[in-house]
């Protein structure tokens, strides 16, 4: 028990759960897809279990997120600035072009309607 830096671990566990739910998957589904058991996934998200690098890659693929975001690493790209942006953009890529166009207009409307928060 030489827990010296639980920050990263907590971040990972939180994001594992968040990404899973956003992907619309249950722990059981994930377990079956990764060839694991339900309790394993449960304790992974609880932080009571390690997540190997292989599992990390598989989870990232399943949830359509990057391993960098899962482990809380900051890259210098656009997606890294806002964690959820990558996920959202990923979803956008699956839309039909016409839907994407519509969504872009909607986004512009939302932004124009409520400008605020941070500048720059």
Partner DNA sequence: TCCGGTCCGTAAGATTATCTTACCATCTGT
Partner DNA sequence: ACAGATGGTAAGATAATCTTACGGACCGGA
Residues near its own copies (CB under 8 A):
2, 4-5, 8-9, 12, 22-24, 35, 50-54, 56-57, 60-62, 66-68, 70-73, 75-79, 81-82, 84-97, 99-100, 103-104, 107-108, 110-112, 114, 116-117, 120
Interface with DNA, residue 9, by CB under 7 A:
no
Task: Report if residue 110 touches DNA, rule: CB under 7 A.
Answer: no
Helix axes 27-34, 53-63, angle to 10 degrees: 120
Question: At CB < 8 A and 24+ separation, what contacts does 1-10 make?
Answer: 6/47, 8/71, 8/72, 9/47, 10/47
Residues 38-97 that bind DNA (CB under 7 A): 38-40, 42-43, 45-46, 48-50
């Amino acid at each position: 028990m030489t827990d010296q830096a639980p920050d990263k671990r907590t971040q990972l566990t939180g994001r594992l759960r968040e990404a899973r739910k956003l992907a619309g998957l249950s722990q059981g589904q994930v377990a079956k897809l990764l060839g694991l058991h339900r309790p394993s996934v449960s304790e992974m998200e609880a932080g009571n279990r390690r997540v190997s690098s292989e599992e990390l890659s598989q989870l990232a693929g399943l949830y359509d997120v990057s391993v960098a975001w899962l482990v809380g690493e900051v890259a210098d790209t656009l997606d890294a600035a806002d964690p959820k942006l990558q996920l959202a953009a990923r979803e956008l890529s699956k839309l039909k072009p016409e839907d994407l166009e519509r969504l872009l207009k909607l986004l512009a409307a939302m932004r124009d309607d409520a400008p605020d928060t941070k500048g720059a």
